[in-house]
């Protein structure tokens, strides 16, 4: 949108600043002279410490245009409701043909001197910075990103639970195996001790038989036979 008087056409009619804290922000406006005259201009603001205007004065030749850049100094805090009360005033006046910036004087813009001075008021608008829109990536089957994330999360959780369960079962099985091995080892040691004891008793019986030159009593034979059967059973078990 542009506004125009008899001397200069100004575009845009609002100075829009994408507001960001602690950052210098600039915007520009274009002044177009569609007349056959040389036009001098001057830019004023209600808050000169806050803004820097380059150039703040100049000459626009006939049927040409000139750009003006307005820079807002870095702000430490945002205004309430992002509303700005600052305003700019652009004054233009016809000057002599061939005039340059050096020929511009403050008196040229005095209406009291009978000069025709054209005024154009410009307001300042703060524009909130635009956030980048998130890129939505669906699956090849057309599922939504949210569903994909949810399904992946459930799948990973289930996989972790399965691994944890298998590990616990392995640990339990390992503990049971170790306990069984320990028990069988103890039983084997006990059997070996009993076998050694029986061997010693058998040796004593043989010595007694040799001394008495008689046969071994039937009761001892039965005992030895039973012990042999028991040892055979225990060894098969281990």
Per-residue pLDDT band at 164 (split at 50, 70, 90) = low
Q: What is the pLDDT of residues 48-104, one digit of tens each?
A: 999 999 999 999 999 999 999 999 999 999 888 889 999 999 999 999 999 999 999
118 pLDDT more than 90: yes
Whether 33 and 103 share a structural domain: yes
Cα–Cα distance between 67 and 27 in angstroms, integer? 10
How confident is the model at residue 147, as a pLDDT?
46
How confident is the model at residue 229, as a pLDDT?
80
Number of domains in the chain: 2
Per the structure, the complete domain to which residue 9 belongs is given by 3-127
Lowest mean pLDDT segment, chosen from 136-150, 166-180, 189-203, 215-229: 136-150
Cα–Cα distance between 15 and 122 in angstroms, integer? 7
The mean pLDDT of the chain is 81
Residue 146 neighbours by CB distance under 10 Å: 10
Query: Does 157 reside within a domain?
Result: no
How confident is the model at residue 166, as a pLDDT?
61
How confident is the model at residue 75, as a pLDDT?
94
Query: Does 168 reside within a domain?
Result: no
Q: Report angle CA 151, 153, 159 to the nearest 5 degrees.
A: 100
Domain boundary pick from 64, 94, 127: 127
Whether 9 and 111 share a structural domain: yes
Query: Does 13 reside within a domain?
Result: yes
Among all chains, which residue has been given the structure tokens 């950052």?
23
- Strand 14-18 relative to strand 118-127, pairing: parallel
Long-range contacts of 154-161 (CB under 8 A, 24+ apart): none
């Amino acid at each position: 949108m542009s506004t125009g008087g008899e001397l200069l056409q100004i575009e845009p009619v609002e100075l829009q600043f994408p507001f960001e804290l602690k950052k210098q922000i600039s915007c520009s406006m274009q002044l177009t002279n569609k007349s056959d005259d040389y036009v001098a201009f001057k830019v004023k603001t209600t808050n000169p410490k806050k803004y820097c205007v380059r150039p703040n004065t100049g000459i626009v030749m006939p049927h040409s245009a000139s750009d003006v850049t307005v820079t807002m100094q870095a702000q430490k805090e945002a205004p309430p409701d992002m509303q700005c009360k600052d305003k700019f005033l652009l004054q233009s006046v016809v000057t002599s043909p061939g005039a340059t910036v050096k020929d511009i004087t403050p008196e040229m813009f005095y209406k009291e001197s009978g000069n025709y001075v054209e005024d154009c008021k410009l307001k300042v608008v703060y524009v909130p910075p635009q956030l980048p829109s998130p890129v939505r990536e669906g699956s090849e089957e057309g599922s939504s990103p949210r569903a994909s994330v949810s399904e992946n999360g459930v799948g990973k959780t289930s996989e972790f639970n399965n691994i944890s369960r298998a590990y616990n079962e392995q640990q339990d099985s390992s503990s049971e195996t170790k306990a069984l091995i320990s028990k069988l080892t103890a039983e084997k040691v006990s059997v070996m001790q009993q076998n050694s004891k029986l061997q010693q008793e058998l040796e004593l019986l043989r010595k007694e038989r040799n001394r008495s030159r008689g046969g071994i009593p039937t009761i001892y034979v039965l005992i030895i036979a039973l012990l042999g059967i028991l040892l055979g059973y225990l060894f098969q078990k281990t």
